[in-house]
């Protein structure tokens, strides 16, 4: 029971104010509720299964400096992609089509959330917890529930306040935070 509670509480705390919560907040204004909830839950299960499994099997063998370097670069890419991707969607809303086929909202939410979680501090936290606890299942379940509880609050908040913030403001805030996290990770690599 201790690995479950430890994972639940640490992941919930690590997720507070995290970029994936901002993604959920932003997506809450764009996608239907069933696709949003199912896409987020599926992405949480996949990303935490990966992190728990990796932590359980290879544990402390990953060099933290290398992981932070990769995470920093990915955060920078995600920040720029978020900014550019949402500019494309604004053009499409003005009547210009990109020629691409429409994507099911579930798959879009799943993809965006999964990509946003790659290299995230909650994945690293889950990885470390799984490597230390030697209880894969309890760590995995605790991480999933912690992520779900932290993100459901942003989903509700996003639904309630969707008329208060423009999509452009949410995009800019998300992009700046991504880029900030990327720079922070790279700074950490250089000074470690």
| Residue showing tokens 């720079």 | 183
The CA angle 154-179-46, to the nearest 5 degrees, is: 50
The tens digit of pLDDT for each residue in 157-191 reads: 877 776 576 767 767 766 776 677 678 778 877 88
Domains contained in the chain, number: 1
Say how far apart CA 124 and CA 128 lie, in whole Å.
Answer: 6
pLDDT attached to residue 43: 94
pLDDT attached to residue 122: 81
pLDDT attached to residue 95: 40
Cα dihedral 55→58→62→64 (10° resolution): 30
Residue 93, both tokens:
């809303």
pLDDT attached to residue 102: 61
Say how far apart CA 105 and CA 6 lie, in whole Å.
Answer: 33
CA atoms in the 13 A half-sphere facing the CB of 83: 12
Q: Which residues of the chain have pLDDT under 70?
A: 59-64, 67-68, 71, 75, 78, 82, 85-102, 162-163, 165, 167, 170, 173-174, 177-178, 181, 192
Provide the whole-model pTM: 0.65
Tell me the CA distances in angstroms from 131 to 44, 82, 134, 146, one per residue in order: 19, 32, 6, 18
Say how far apart CA 80 and CA 20 lie, in whole Å.
Answer: 15
Q: What is the residue range of 98's domain?
A: 2-190
pLDDT attached to residue 35: 92
Residue 34, both tokens:
């069933």
Distance of CA 62 to the CA centre of its chain: 21
Per 3-state DSSP, the chain is made up of helix, strand and coil in percentages (nearest 5) of 80, 0, 20
Which contacts (CB < 8 Å, 24+ apart) does range 62-66 have? 62/127, 64/192, 65/189, 65/192
């Amino acid at each position: 029971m201790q690995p479950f509670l430890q994972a639940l509480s640490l992941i919930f705390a690590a997720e507070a104010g995290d970029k994936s919560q901002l993604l959920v907040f932003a997506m809450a204004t764009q996608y239907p509720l069933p696709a949003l909830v199912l896409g987020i839950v599926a992405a949480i299960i996949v990303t935490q299964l990966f992190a728990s499994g990796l932590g359980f099997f290879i544990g402390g063998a990953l060099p933290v400096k290398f992981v932070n370097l990769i995470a920093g670069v990915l955060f920078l890419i995600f920040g720029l992609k978020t900014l550019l991707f949402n500019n494309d969607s604004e053009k499409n809303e003005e009547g210009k089509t990109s020629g691409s086929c429409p994507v099911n909202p579930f798959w879009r939410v799943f993809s965006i959330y999964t990509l946003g979680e790659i290299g995230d501090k909650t994945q690293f936290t889950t990885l470390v917890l799984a490597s230390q606890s030697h209880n894969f299942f309890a760590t995995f379940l605790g991480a999933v529930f912690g992520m779900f509880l932290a993100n459901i609050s942003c989903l509700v908040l996003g639904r309630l306040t969707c008329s208060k913030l423009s999509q452009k403001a949410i995009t800019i805030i998300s992009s700046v935070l991504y880029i900030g996290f990327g720079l922070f990770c790279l700074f950490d690599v250089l000074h470690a």
